[in-house]
Amino acid sequence: MRVGVCQIDILINQSFSLKDKRRVMNSVKHRLRNRFNISIIEILAQKMWDRGSFGVSLVGEDEERVKRNIERVLCFLEDDDRLEVLQVTMDVY
């Protein structure tokens, strides 16, 4: 069994207040949880209205499956027009 951990830094387009940011962040978190069955939390940059970070974790049978699922999450985020993925840090244990 392997555990994948990932930090994803994002830029939120068309966000002009913390309320706009919160709306996008919560929407993305719920969609990712429902679609990929992952654990996700907002981390860092909580007071910046145009930037955000997610901490993501998931469990899989082997390292390849975990990496593939993280890549699917990243592709899903990159297809979302409301945000841009700035940086990704990923580890598999």
pLDDT for 52 equals 94
Choose the CATH number for 2-92 among 3.40.50.970, 2.30.42.10, 1.20.58.220, 3.30.70.1120: 3.30.70.1120
Q: Per-residue pLDDT for 46 more than 80?
A: no
- What is the secondary structure of 12-33 as a DSSP string? ETT--SHHHHHHHHHHHHHHHH
- Of the candidates 92, 44, 87, which has an alpha carbon nearest to the alpha carbon of residue 69? 92
Q: Per-residue pLDDT for 45 more than 90?
A: no
Question: Which residue, chain included where needed, has tokens 């939390």?
Answer: 41
Answer yes or no: pTM beyond 0.85: yes
Q: Per-residue pLDDT for 55 more than 90?
A: yes
